[in-house]
Amino acid sequence: MTTPGVSLFVLALLALTCTSSARPTIYEFVSRFGFPPGIFPDYVTSYTTAPQVNGYTFEIKLREPCYIMYDLYVHLDSKITGYITYGKITIYKGLIGKPDNYIWFQVDEMKLNDDSITYTLAFIKVDLDIEQFEWIPTCGFPIGANHTRSSNLIEF
């Protein structure tokens, strides 16, 4: 026969175990590396990580490919892969950007600065004010888009 105090202790211990093992959202995960939550959109359905020496490789899955408009037009594939360490995300595949009226370039890196995030697209660097990433953006689609990325992508 157990006493009420022991039962409460066991329940509290179980609750603590369940909450401490809860997996963080992708937004909580990237915040551990200094990034604001709006670095990825609300279309994320799942993600996986694998620990490496100084960071994590990751794979993020979205409901479908989509676009986000910061001060840089960004297209996200339905799967994004890369490597994250504190203050830096290296993109392997799945993210392209279109600065101003240029053509689409593969996003190679996102680097956190004091008040901005620098996107590196091949030989172009675009500094985006960090305030653009305070909120988790909603994915959008261009009017008349067929939900596929542009064929004028330049990869290096």
pLDDT (tens digit, 9 = 90+) per residue, 44-102? Answer: 999 999 999 999 999 999 999 999 999 999 999 999 999 999 999 999 999 999 987 77
For residue 131, the SS3 value is helix
**pLDDT at res. 79:** 98
Q: What is the pLDDT of residues 132-154, one digit of tens each?
A: 999 999 998 765 444 444 444 43
Domains recognised in the chain with CATH numbers: 4-133 (2.30.240)
**pLDDT at res. 15:** 42
Contact 41, 25 (CB under 8 A): no
